[in-house]
Amino acid sequence: MNEQNTTENQNEISDQKHEKQDQKVNQKIRFKKRVLEVRGLEISYKNPEVLQRFITKTGKIIPRRLSGTSAKLQRKISKEIKRARMANLLPFTKR
């Protein structure tokens, strides 16, 4: 009887651990929506500090599902990043 109780307790504990791990997996790094509007930041190729937030460490543009921006704003961000790269304000790749 004691063995059954201990195995049940262990199963409950392991289930709780798995639930916490599932929650951590779902909590990926994401920007809040409309973060640019709230802070009053403007997307422009002349502003590489703002555009750096939407580039990974390797120089790739962060996808829309992670950045949390609308489709229209994501198109503008990618266009401005490409302009900044051509103007040599942002690197094409980082090492």
Q: What is the CATH number of domain 2-86?
A: 4.10.640.10
Residues in the chain where the model's pLDDT stays below 70: 1-35
Q: Can you read off the two tokens belonging to residue 49?
A: 């500090």
Q: Where are the domains of the chain?
A: 2-86
Predicted local confidence at residue 10, as pLDDT: 63
The overall pTM is greater than 0.85: no
What Cα–Cα distance (Å) separates residue 69 from each residue in 24, 25, 31, 33, 60? 22, 21, 8, 6, 16
Side chain identity, residue 68: G
* pLDDT tens readout for residues 68-79: 888 999 999 999
Predicted local confidence at residue 21, as pLDDT: 57
In the block, tokens 């392991």 appear at: 14
